[in-house]
Amino acid sequence: MFIFLALLVALLAYGVMIYNNLVNLKHNVAKAWSNIDVLLKQRHDELPKLVETCKRYMAYEQEALEKVMRARGAVASAREQHDVPALGQAETQLRLGLGNLFAVAEAYPDLKANESFQHLEGRITGLENGIADRRELYNEGVNLNNVRIEQFPDLIVARLFKFGPHALLEFSEEEKQDVSVKQLFG
């Protein structure tokens, strides 16, 4: 009887340990998403300033500016809805739009020399790098969570307490391809 009780207590302790590890993984994914969200919000706030600065110089490049603003809206919408797949697609469009905008800006020496433009370009580039780093951490957290909830014996506890998988932040094939410098300047 004593051995049976000891085994039951050990099994229960092991189940609690698994549960606590799954809770930790779930919260790490949420924290990683929050870190991305903060940077997306900062970039969202900076983009109108960049577009407004560019408008003063780039009278004939409305299409490039409009693409950035449309993509900005799509990113904001996906972010607010916590729609990770839609966010990946919107991010692709925004990154392409920003690349095109910065490439077009090369043709405007007055714009490139503008202190406000230089500051905003540097700020947005820094935010892009930060977002890329946070995406990597988010995907790592999601991967750890998704693997653990499928492994035995964790899957028993995960199903019992309804721990679910999370979506990876993935990007379209278009964004994974090499950038065509000729197309950007063409």
Q: How far is CA 148 from CA 14, 19, 44, in A?
A: 15, 11, 34
pLDDT tens column, 106-124: 888 888 888 888 899 999 9
pLDDT tens column, 143-171: 999 999 999 999 999 999 999 999 998 87
Set out the domains of the chain in order of their start, with CATH numbers. 2-185 (1.20.1440.20)
Given a contact cutoff of 8 angstroms between Cβ atoms, the answer to whether 134 and 35 are in contact is yes
* Angstrom distance (rounded) from CA 50 to CA 52: 5
